[in-house]
Structure 1
């Protein structure tokens, strides 16, 4: 039987790489910071409006969906720029498609927020 190469030390170290990635996007990516501020505002509004547990799940999922899309878009952009520094229509196409994922996730999150928050805000008026 083959010996497993599993190591707790390596698993813990892998988290440090992930946290380093978050640090990089926080420091270098304006759009990530914008999405994070929007996420914080959505969380605050969710708390103030006392949304249900299921609505919390939808809000948290929407926030994660947008942030993950932003991270993947950033990774695709950096990889594309690394592979081809000059202007290239194929690279532009790839980057545009990755950016479209961020827009679609953001619009989805906005729609979820509107569905959850507007009825509650209207009840306050």
Structure 2
């Protein structure tokens, strides 16, 4: 992929500074290179998702929790609003875990093998964020899936 040319633009004082001219804004919408760039961005995003799901065990477990919640919601006969809450909670859990994994990789790369208290705090905060998402998904699942399933089971037994 060709990089945009760097042009030197003089500011008001007359000193030169570099500015990358973004071709996307200067080209027409029908220009195929704009769509090619968008397609490349999509491919890179999919590679990132693939890397995360293949290499992060916790992400696999949490995605499994989300899938289980959706399947149980189907069994419980969830309303569209409940479906939305469950899907949003499961999605937020996966998103937070991916952000947590990325931050941990950057932190580990920055400090290599030495200990840094600030990095420990950053990683703990990110881990806490994931924990809150797990608690949220668990609470939503309890209220919107488990309780209706128990009610259906009780109604079935009472008959």
Select the residue among 93, 115, 131 that pairs with 1:87: 115
1:115 maps to 143
Q: Tell me how far apart the structure 2 counterparts of residues 80 and 113 of structure 1 sit (CA, whole Å).
A: 33
Which of 104, 127, 136 is equivalent to 1:77?
104
Name whichever structure is richer in strand by fraction: 2
Shift of 1:117: 1.4
Q: Given the alignment of the two structures, is residue 21 of structure 1 paired with residue 45 of structure 2, yes or no?
A: no
Name the structure 1 match of 2:79.
52
TM-score by length of 2: 0.74
Point out the more displaced range, 71-80 or 82-91. 82-91
The total of aligned residue pairs comes to 124
Residue-by-residue CA offset, 1:50-69 (whole Å, 9 max, x unaligned):
10000000001001110000
SS at match of 1:51: coil
In structure 2, what is the equivalent of residue 8 of structure 1?
35
Report which of the two structures shows the higher radius of gyration computed on alpha carbons.
2
Write the distance in 1 (CA, Å) between the matches of 2:28 and 2:61. Answer: 40
Instruction: Considering Cα pairs closer than 8 Å and 6+ residues apart, tell me whether 1 or 2 has the greater RCO.
Output: 1
Which sections of structure 1, spanning at least 5 residues, go unmatched? Answer: none
| Separation (CA, whole Å) in 1 of partners of 2:84 and 2:27 | 37
**TM-score normalised by structure 1 residue count:** 0.93
> Are residues 87 and 43 of structure 1, via their aligned partners in 2, closer, same or farther at CA, if it must alter by over 3 Å?
same
Q: Which of 57, 60, 63 is the matching residue for 1:33?
A: 60
1:3 offset after TM fit, Å?
1.4
What do the CA deviations read for 1:61-119 (whole angstroms, capped 9, x no partner)? 00111000000000000010111111111111111111111001110111111111132
